């Protein structure tokens, strides 16, 4: 019965009308927007007070979990939650309820983690994203928005235009990033110019690629706002897109687990939103932190998902701050009063095709492959990739044909795919295990 309900929920969520009802449920959406409008006028003590109130609400939700800890136990005395804990024991982190929206992480560590979201969570998430566009008086619901992300428009082997599709009566333009290349960039430019987009919603890698191809052809667009997420945006990428699109670029950081949210409107200045989740920054030794800076691990407690209240969840990501920040400065960072230089995490999760296309969406290829514990994609040449897979020893094998079929949804036929079973995947000196490693020679 639960599997049937999950399937029914997926179908409902996939329809435009139902999706809007979920995202703009006024019972949840409007109060959050009101809180966000009041945030700028909150001083340090006010932010601390509202953060504590929201934390206590989450602790009350979490106390009702199987084996839940009493809400009276202070936050700092609670154990950290690992991604593997949630992956392997989902039932211990979910509260029963009439409506639960199934979800999953993108699998950046090699395998997706199943999640559950409440109606409150869905609408609140949209409120935080829409708040980023408040200066323009826009929302996802009413903006003329072009989307250049990992959406599947048609097979990546179909090289004939069009490379996009219109939705919602022509008010939304869905573009296929897996068809973007120097040869097709003019089609994307012409379509965007004709569409007259108010917002371009894109992965950094795809938005940067189109901007680069346009720059090479002497082309520019006028798009007021470029909104990026899901990958790490480098300063050079921001500057490139600002010039190519004559746009303000807002990059936001979040997690499928819905515990932390930050936004950057300028190079080297990302601010956490203290109304979204309780952020803890724990200092770590990290050789990747630039000179004059220090890395802090991001641990967070979400405020809005009463279906899956995660308390002190280890994100696996790092906040980079100037090394002169004091303990008081770090607390100001968690309250959204001081910025971090950058947030390092899911970077470079794309491939480059033989024609120069930026291929994204590969993290979804692991879905439905039973026994697959971890996966990593390594690209050393443009026409081939090495897919390393770690298999659950209890299963002993995986359906390689299914995995190959999934990969072909994102990788064109003229790229060879080699699947290799390994005991472990490659790790960076920091201990992180990127989903995609590119070692392509310079052009």
- Render each residue's pLDDT in the chain as its tens digit; 443 residues: 345 445 555 555 456 778 888 999 999 999 999 999 999 999 999 999 999 999 999 999 999 999 899 999 999 999 999 998 998 899 999 998 878 898 888 655 556 788 999 999 999 999 999 999 999 999 999 999 999 998 888 888 898 999 999 998 899 999 998 899 999 999 999 999 999 999 999 988 889 889 989 988 999 999 999 999 988 888 888 999 999 999 999 999 999 999 999 999 998 899 999 999 999 999 987 545 777 899 999 999 999 999 999 999 999 888 999 999 999 999 999 999 999 999 987 555 789 999 988 887 777 788 778 888 788 999 999 999 999 998 877 788 899 999 999 999 889 999 999 999 988 788 765 455 678 888 988 76
Contact 432, 425 (CB under 8 A): no
Compute the distance between CA of residue 301 and CA of residue 250 in angstroms, rounded to an integer: 24
Question: Considering the chain, what percentage of its residues have pLDDT values greater than 70?
Answer: 92
Per-residue pLDDT at 268:
86
CA distances (Å), origin 69, targets 58, 64, 72, 92 = 12, 8, 8, 12
Contact 243, 215 (CB under 8 A): yes
Per-residue pLDDT at 364:
73
Compute the distance between CA of residue 32 and CA of residue 99 in angstroms, rounded to an integer: 20
Q: All domains of the chain, ordered by start, with CATH?
A: 1-344 (3.40.50.12780), 361-438 (3.30.300.30)
344 backbone dihedrals φ, ψ, rounded to 5°: -95, 130
Contact 412, 382 (CB under 8 A): no
H and E: helices and strands count for the chain: 11, 20
Contact 386, 362 (CB under 8 A): no
Per-residue pLDDT at 430:
47
The tens digit of pLDDT for each residue in 146-166 reads 999 988 888 888 989 999 999
Contact 81, 313 (CB under 8 A): yes
Per-residue pLDDT at 24:
96
- Nearest alpha-carbon partner for 281 in 242, 247, 320: 320
Cα angle value 272/427/443 (rounded, 5°): 90
Contact 426, 376 (CB under 8 A): yes
The tens digit of pLDDT for each residue in 269-327 reads 999 999 999 999 999 875 457 778 999 999 999 999 999 999 999 998 889 999 999 99
| Packing angle, helices 26-39 and 119-131, rounded to 10 | 40
Per-residue pLDDT at 108:
55
For residue 24, the tally of other CB atoms under 10 A from its CB is 18
For residue 220, the tally of other CB atoms under 10 A from its CB is 14
Residue 154, classed as helix, strand or coil, is: coil
In what helix (H) or strand (E) does residue 342 lie, and over which residues does it extend? strand 342-344
Contact 380, 439 (CB under 8 A): yes
Per-residue pLDDT at 387:
96
Residue 203, classed as helix, strand or coil, is: coil
Per-residue pLDDT at 347:
52
Tell me the Ramachandran region of residue 167: left when phi exceeds 0, alpha when psi lies from -120 to 50, beta otherwise: beta
In what helix (H) or strand (E) does residue 51 lie, and over which residues does it extend? helix 44-62
Place of tokens 């990593």: 376
Per-residue pLDDT at 9:
53
Per-residue pLDDT at 314:
95
Per-residue pLDDT at 255:
93
Per-residue pLDDT at 2:
44
Compute the distance between CA of residue 104 and CA of residue 99 in angstroms, rounded to an integer: 16
The pTM (predicted TM-score) of the whole model is: 0.84
Per-residue pLDDT at 286:
57
Q: Is the peptide bond before 162 cis (omega within 30 degrees of 0)?
A: yes
For 270, the token pair is: 């990302």
Compute the distance between CA of residue 403 and CA of residue 370 in angstroms, rounded to an integer: 10
Residue 235, classed as helix, strand or coil, is: helix
């Amino acid at each position: 019965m639960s599997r049937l309900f999950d399937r029914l929920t997926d179908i409902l969520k996939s329809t435009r009308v139902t999706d809007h009802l979920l995202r703009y449920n006024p019972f949840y959406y409007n109060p959050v927007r009101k809180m966000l409008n009041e945030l700028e006028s909150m001083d340090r003590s006010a932010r601390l007070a509202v953060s504590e109130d929201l934390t206590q609400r989450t602790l009350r939700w979490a106390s009702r979990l199987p084996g839940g800890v009493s809400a009276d136990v202070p936050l700092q005395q609670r154990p950290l939650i690992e991604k593997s804990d949630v992956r392997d024991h989902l039932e211990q982190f979910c509260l029963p309820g009439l409506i639960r929206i199934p979800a999953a992480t993108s699998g950046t560590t090699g395998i997706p983690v199943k999640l559950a979201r409440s109606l409150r969570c869905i609408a609140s998430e949209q409120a935080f994203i829409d708040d980023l566009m408040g200066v323009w008086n826009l929302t996802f619901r009413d903006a003329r928005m072009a989307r250049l992300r990992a959406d599947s428009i048609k097979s990546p082997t179909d090289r004939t235009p069009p490379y996009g599709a219109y939705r919602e009566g022509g008010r939304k333009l869905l573009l296929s990033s897996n068809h973007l290349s120097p040869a097709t960039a003019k089609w994307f430019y012409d379509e965007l110019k004709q569409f007259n987009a108010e917002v371009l919603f894109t992965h950094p890698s795809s938005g940067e690629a189109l901007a680069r191809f346009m720059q090479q052809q002497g082309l520019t667009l006028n798009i007021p706002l470029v909104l990026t997420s899901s990958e790490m945006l480098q300063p050079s990428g921001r500057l490139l897109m600002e010039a190519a699109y004559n746009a303000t670029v807002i990059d936001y950081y979040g997690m499928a687990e819905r515990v932390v949210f930050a936004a950057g409107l300028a190079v080297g200045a990302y601010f956490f939103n203290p109304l979204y989740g309780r952020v803890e920054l724990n200092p770590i030794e990290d050789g990747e932190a630039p000179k004059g800076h220090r890395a802090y691990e991001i641990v967070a407690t979400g405020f809005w998902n009463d279906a899956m209240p995660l308390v002190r969840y280890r994100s696996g990501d790092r906040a980079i701050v100037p090394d002169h920040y004091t303990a008081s400065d770090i607390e100001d960072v968690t309250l959204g009063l001081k910025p971090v230089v950058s947030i390092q995490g899911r970077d470079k999760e794309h491939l480059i095709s033989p024609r120069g296309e930026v291929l994204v969406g590969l993290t979804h290829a692991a879905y439905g492959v039973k026994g697959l514990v971890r996966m990593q994609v390594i690209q050393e040449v443009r026409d081939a990739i090495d897919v390393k897979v770690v298999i659950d020893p209890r299963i002993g094998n995986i359906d390689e044909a299914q995995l190959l079929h999934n990969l072909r949804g994102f990788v064109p036929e003229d790229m060879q795919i080699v699947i290799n079973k390994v005991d472990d995947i490659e790790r960076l000196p920091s201990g992180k295990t990127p989903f995609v490693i590119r070692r392509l020679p310079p052009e």
